[in-house]
């Protein structure tokens, strides 16, 4: 879920290790020579289901609801048991009037103005998440562009630029300018003559000059040429005083800060590449659209206490969270989408290897803070329309809303998106302390912060009683012994959810996992 992580040498080596390990998986490119965008190949074909066969689905997140929706279409009788008092799971949006209760006992009531919202979990859809985009169309979920990439956002790092935030355009353009100058210098010293032909050298120098905006001496210097990308002190205008004034470039020392190249490359990450989308009005439009197709099929406030199975069927024991009533539901098959931090606490009759996989997979946490500001000062004063400002501080970033551009009145920005160890530090604070931290740290970008602040909400995933975590954290070392055991059909039970995928955290992961799980469960049912 993070588009921006501080790279460490260890992380890099791990990534390289993964790449090496995957060599075994390498296959010839497709005939077209283009990378495929998605593993989604259309809705599942589940023909020949036995009439009246019953499937119980545990959890009404996207994986669970998609399983119910498609198996119902295929002729199965479906029933969902849901722990919470709403369907949707992590497909979750908070609005004014909503109440958030934490494991700690803290209770927040959201005070956002009508129309404003925070998506504490998933909030954006990559163009290549074609399963999700497909179901948004099928279910009538209206989408609008999500502005992921905005070079007018800021970068703040405690180690460079004297700690002063820079526009992302400035750091991006300065980084490549200095890289180009250095490479051109090396080429002109004939340092790469063993690699490059004379013609290659000429082409490469021309590339460095053009891409890096180098001057006639092949140097990256302050002037109108660099300003044409990094921005001007005074941009070109009209009339008598229309001439532009160039801006001043930063030095090599500043752009060598790892946060700089990390920022430059972050939007190239496949999951962050534009065009991205979001549902109009909040991410929960997706969960609500699925739930409308499953009316009467979702039992809310139902805490599963045991998953039993034998060769005749499955039996799910549960407790009603409202009235304490205990019950049992029998079915022919079960799709279990309960997140593993919860599932590992429940008695499940599956093979030891699957149980070991359920217990082995760690989850990470995250914390999002939504700050309602009295006005869109980031647009009105600083010309930032959507996108992010990144910082080395614990909040990680600020994200500006991709809806309601130019509107007067209050708006909600994402004031913190803390991950890693910071997520747990935020979770240990009271909600008010988290908001205060977000305000203090965000002020490094926006001097208007304190004066314009109206109200806020801080969602720490490890504090949410129904999941106590954010999302699964696979590593190659864990996948080798556990992944196939986790996803296999075990008797009459199959697991689904983002934890049963190579994607992780994203809504697409829940859907692709679910499609695969129900396809295999259907085959199992036909064989029964």
Residue 78 has phi, psi (to 5 degrees) of -120, 150
- Give the closest residue to 451 by CA, choosing from 439, 437, 463: 439
**What is the rounded CA–CA span in Å between residue 280 and residue 393?**
31
> Is residue 296 near a copy of itself by the rule CB under 8 A?
no
Stretch that binds a copy of itself, among 43-51, 75-83, 203-211, 307-315 (CB under 8 A): 203-211
Stretch that binds a copy of itself, among 103-111, 199-207, 295-303, 450-458 (CB under 8 A): 199-207
Stretch that binds a copy of itself, among 10-18, 102-110, 313-321, 414-422 (CB under 8 A): 10-18
**What is the rounded CA–CA span in Å between residue 100 and residue 250?**
45
Task: Single out the residue of 31, 114, 189, 352 in contact with a copy of itself (rule: CB under 8 A).
Answer: 189
Give start and end residues of each alpha helix (H) in 8-161.
9-21, 62-73, 130-138
Task: Single out the residue of 182, 308, 321, 353 in contact with a copy of itself (rule: CB under 8 A).
Answer: 182
**What is the rounded CA–CA span in Å between residue 342 and residue 513?**
19
- Give the closest residue to 514 by CA, choosing from 11, 89, 16, 29: 89
> Is residue 99 near a copy of itself by the rule CB under 8 A?
no
Task: Single out the residue of 47, 52, 99, 216 in contact with a copy of itself (rule: CB under 8 A).
Answer: 216
Closest separation in Å from C-beta 17 to a copy of itself: 8
> Is residue 30 near a copy of itself by the rule CB under 8 A?
yes
> Is residue 468 near a copy of itself by the rule CB under 8 A?
no
Q: 260, 157 in Cβ contact below 8 A?
A: yes
344-403: which residues touch a copy of itself (CB under 8 A)?
Answer: 383-387, 402
The CA–CA distances, whole Å, from 165 to 159, 392, 394, 443, 445 equal 11, 11, 16, 11, 6
Query: In sequence order, what are the beta bridge partners of 156?
Result: 391
> Is residue 524 near a copy of itself by the rule CB under 8 A?
no
Task: Single out the residue of 81, 183, 336, 343 in contact with a copy of itself (rule: CB under 8 A).
Answer: 183
Stretch that binds a copy of itself, among 8-16, 298-306, 307-315, 336-344 (CB under 8 A): 8-16
Closest separation in Å from C-beta 145 to a copy of itself: 5
- Give the closest residue to 1 by CA, choosing from 484, 470, 479, 488: 470
Task: Single out the residue of 48, 274, 409, 465 in contact with a copy of itself (rule: CB under 8 A).
Answer: 274
Greatest distance between any 2 Cα atoms in the chain: 87
> Is residue 488 near a copy of itself by the rule CB under 8 A?
yes
Task: Single out the residue of 335, 412, 512, 525 in contact with a copy of itself (rule: CB under 8 A).
Answer: 512
> Is residue 313 near a copy of itself by the rule CB under 8 A?
no
Instruction: Report the SS3 class of residue 429.
Output: coil
Closest separation in Å from C-beta 230 to a copy of itself: 7
> Is residue 198 near a copy of itself by the rule CB under 8 A?
no
Closest separation in Å from C-beta 9 to a copy of itself: 7
Closest separation in Å from C-beta 115 to a copy of itself: 16
37 vs 465 by CB, closer to a copy of itself: 37
Q: 172, 263 in Cβ contact below 8 A?
A: yes
91 vs 463 by CB, closer to a copy of itself: 91
Closest separation in Å from C-beta 271 to a copy of itself: 9
Q: 445, 391 in Cβ contact below 8 A?
A: yes
Stretch that binds a copy of itself, among 83-91, 102-110, 417-425, 507-515 (CB under 8 A): 507-515
Q: 125: which 2 tokens?
A: 């859809």
Q: What is the layout of strands, in order, in the sheet containing 77-81?
A: 298-299, 77-81, 54-58, 333-336, 493-495
Binding to a copy of itself by CB under 8 A, coded x per residue (else -) over 403-432, reads --xx--------------------------
Angle, to 10 degrees, between the axis of helix 507-527 and the axis of helix 476-487? 40
Closest separation in Å from C-beta 150 to a copy of itself: 5
242 vs 362 by CB, closer to a copy of itself: 242
Write out the H or E segment, with its range, that includes residue 465.
none
Q: Is 321 exposed, middle or buried (0-12, 13-18, 19+ CB in 10 A)?
A: middle
**What is the rounded CA–CA span in Å between residue 240 and residue 267?**
39
Find the angle CA(291)-CA(297)-CA(300) to the nearest 5 degrees: 80
126-155: which residues touch a copy of itself (CB under 8 A)?
Answer: 127-128, 130, 133, 136-137, 143-145, 147, 149-152
35 vs 99 by CB, closer to a copy of itself: 35
> Is residue 60 near a copy of itself by the rule CB under 8 A?
no
> Is residue 109 near a copy of itself by the rule CB under 8 A?
no
CB half-sphere exposure, 345, CA atoms < 13 A: 9
> Is residue 248 near a copy of itself by the rule CB under 8 A?
yes
Total residues binding a copy of itself (CB under 8 A): 140
The CA–CA distances, whole Å, from 331 to 191, 314, 325, 400, 492 equal 71, 5, 20, 46, 9
């Amino acid at each position: 879920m993070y588009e921006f992580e501080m790279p460490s040498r260890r992380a890099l080596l791990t990534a390289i290790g993964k790449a090496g390990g995957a060599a075994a998986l390498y296959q010839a490119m497709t005939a077209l020579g283009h990378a495929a965008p998605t593993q989604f190949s259309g809705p599942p074909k589940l023909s020949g289901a036995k009439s009246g066969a019953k499937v119980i689905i545990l959890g009404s997140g996207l994986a669970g609801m998609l399983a119910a929706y498609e198996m119902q279409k295929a002729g199965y009788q479906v029933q969902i048991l849901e722990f919470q008092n709403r369907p949707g799971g992590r497909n979750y949006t908070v609005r004014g009037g909503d109440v958030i209760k934490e494991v700690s006992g803290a209770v927040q009531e959201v005070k956002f103005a009508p129309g404003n919202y925070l998506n504490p979990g998933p909030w954006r859809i990559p163009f290549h998440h074609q399963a999700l985009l497909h179901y948004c169309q099928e279910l009538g979920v209206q989408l609008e562009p999500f502005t992921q990439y905005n070079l007018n956002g800021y970068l703040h790092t405690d180690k460079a630029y004297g700690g002063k935030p820079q526009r992302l355009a400035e750091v991006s353009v300065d980084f490549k300018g200095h890289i180009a100058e250095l490479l051109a210098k090396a080429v002109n010293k004939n340092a790469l003559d063993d690699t490059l032909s004379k013609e290659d050298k000429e082409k490469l120098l021309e590339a460095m000059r053009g891409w890096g905006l180098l001057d006639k001496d092949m140097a990256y210097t302050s002037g109108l040429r660099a300003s044409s990308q990094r921005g001007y002190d005074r941009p070109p205008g009209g009339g008598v005083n229309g001439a532009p004034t160039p801006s001043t470039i930063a030095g090599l020392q500043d752009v060598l800060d790892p946060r700089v190249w990390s920022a430059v490359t972050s939007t190239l990450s496949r999951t962050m590449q534009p065009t991205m989308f979001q549902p109009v009005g909040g991410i929960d439009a997706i969960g609500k659209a699925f739930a409308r197709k499953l009316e009467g099929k979702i039992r809310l406030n139902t805490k599963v206490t045991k998953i039993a199975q034998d060769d005749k069927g499955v039996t799910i024991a549960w407790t009603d969270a409202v009235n304490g009533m205990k019950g049992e539901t029998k079915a022919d098959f079960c799709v279990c989408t309960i997140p593993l931090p919860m599932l590992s606490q429940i008695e499940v009759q599956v093979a030891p290897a699957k149980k070991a996989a359920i217990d082995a997979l760690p989850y990470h946490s995250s914390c999002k803070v939504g700050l309602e500001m009295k006005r869109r000062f980031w647009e009105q004063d600083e010309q930032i329309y959507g996108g992010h400002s990144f910082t080395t501080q614990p909040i990680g970033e600020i994200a500006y809303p991709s809806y309601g551009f130019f509107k007067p009145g209050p708006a909600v920005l994402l004031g913190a998106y803390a991950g890693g160890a910071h997520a747990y530090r935020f979770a240990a604070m009271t909600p008010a302390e988290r908001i205060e931290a977000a305000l203090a740290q965000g002020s490094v970008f926006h001097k208007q912060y304190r004066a314009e602040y109206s109200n806020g909400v801080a969602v720490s995933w490890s504090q949410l009683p129904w999941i106590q975590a954010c999302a699964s954290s696979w590593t190659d070392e864990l996948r080798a012994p556990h992944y196939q055991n986790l996803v296999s059909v075990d008797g009459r039970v199959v697991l689904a959810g983002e934890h049963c995928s190579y994607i992780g955290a994203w809504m697409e992961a829940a859907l692709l996992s679910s499609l695969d799980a129900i396809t295999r469960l259907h085959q199992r049912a036909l064989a029964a």
